[in-house]
Amino acid sequence: PFFGGGSTLWSSWCPEPTTAEMNGWPQATIKAAQDYFKTAKMLLNVVGANHEETGNIFDHWQNKLTERLKQNLQDIKSATRVEHAQIAVGTPTITSTDVEKFSTPGPLLDEVIKCQEEAKKRQIDSRLSIVTECTVTRIWQQENQATALETTRGVVNVGDSKVILAMGSIPSTTLVLNSFPQAKNAGKRFTAHFISAIVARIPRDDFLEIFDWEESIKDDLRKKNLQLAAIYLAGVDQETQGQYHIQLSAISDPDPTNKTHIDTAARNMPDVVATASPKQLETSKDYIVFVCAVLGELFDNPGNGLQKNDGDDPTTNVTLQVLETDKDLSLWDTMDKATFEVLEQGLSPKGKDRVEYWHGDPDTGQWKRERHKIRVPGLVHEASTMWIGDDEEAVVGLDYRLKGVENVYITGASLWPTGGSWNPTLTMVALAQHLADNLTEQAQEIKT
């Protein structure tokens, strides 16, 4: 609803998937992503939570807790790797004592201004239109060529331009279903991530007894020092080979009613939604609170998909069907079990009896010894509706062009052949940069 979309308010996790985690993807697309991960990280300014750019707030606990999990990884049966969370902390041109999560508008407009100034110097016609409060409802075509955009503010001729759908998976697929009936298999797949939420706490002194810090540091951590940690752990359900990952955020706050602490934690915690509530922190002055957002991949189940319906609104005239199967449930059980293993065996120095879980509403619940989880009734990171591939069934070719249409290209997670569990932003940016370079090279070849 505003310029920049979700990038102005997001969780900023940007893990780089391994080759094994991109199982089922075309080798050419895997290579393209890997070739561009470096430049994508530069654009988003992705750094580890232990990096100096995150400031002093990710310091003592960040390193010690991550190292402890690495040493105990064998105790989490389904885990495959653990690392300092890779976070998009902003742009190198912005200086602040706190983390500045990456947000689209600033860097985008900065680059636009630079390009416009350079074009003016070279006397190149570089007219640019930014249209607000405008929705594209359909793309008109002639002889398999996009010719015009029908919008809520009139018709825009495409001319010789290329049309790039840089949109979320469902909006872009809806537009394709309404505009290009020849786009074979569009909407026939659907993947996403399902989520469990687990909030736990472990006495702070249990860790201070085993970590070799100076007494002055231990006193600070006991009495006044607000500290955060963000850790990424990936795993696989052996029965189904489904992937999951844990976004583990930790907060140690001996003075949780301190307004400066409250504001600082709110700005710096990586997760927007998966954060500790004031009540959880106020009752945990002598504890480290662990907030776990656990994401598993929804399989491309038979029957999942997006179909056009008879609705009157061309931006929403689709029906999404998602069917849960035993494979999904098996993975969900595995990832929940792994999270309890992380807390009770991987982290807690004195075992599971020292771990307490939050039961009930975030503002009115209470801590108990019994395990507790919340399976969130929703899906995030929708993907795979217009998957990329080099076979006949794929909706989009390896050049990112929508098959059956000459000048329409697709970016975003709708390209995913399989969902995986990793957060998609870094891979989306890498492939978008690859597409941009491909189209730029084509334009240069035409000129020469």
pLDDT averaged over every residue in the chain? 92
Q: pLDDT, tens digit, for every residue of 344-356?
A: 999 999 999 999 9
Are the C-beta atoms of residues 253 and 275 closer than 8 Å to each other?
A: no
pLDDT at 441: 83
CA dist., res. 61 & res. 66, Å (int):
8
pLDDT at 99 > cutoff 70: no
Q: pLDDT, tens digit, for every residue of 264-279?
A: 887 788 887 778 999 9
Q: pLDDT, tens digit, for every residue of 165-196?
A: 998 999 999 999 999 999 999 999 999 999 99
Contacts of residue 335, Cβ cutoff 8 Å, sequence gap at least 6: 78, 196, 235, 237, 244, 246, 294, 295, 296
The model's confidence at residue 98, banded by pLDDT at 50, 70 and 90, is low
pLDDT at 445: 66
The residue-averaged pLDDT of 87-99 equals: 61
pTM, entire model: 0.93
pLDDT at 419 > cutoff 60: yes
Three-class secondary structure assignment of 75-133 = HCCCEEEEEECEEECCCCCCCCCCCCCCCCHHHHHHHHHHHHHHHHHCCCCCCCCCCCC
The residue-averaged pLDDT of 361-390 equals: 96
CA dist., res. 291 & res. 441, Å (int):
46
The model's confidence at residue 214, banded by pLDDT at 50, 70 and 90, is very high
The DSSP output letter for 162 is: P
Residue written as tokens 């609705």? 311
pLDDT at 10 > cutoff 50: yes
CA dist., res. 325 & res. 329, Å (int):
7
- The domains found in the chain, sorted by start residue, are 5-57+85-181+386-447 (3.50.50.60), 192-378 (no CATH)
The model's confidence at residue 132, banded by pLDDT at 50, 70 and 90, is confident
Torsion angle in degrees (nearest 10) through CA of 182, 186, 188, 194: -170
Angle at 243 between CA 428 and CA 324, to 5 degrees: 100
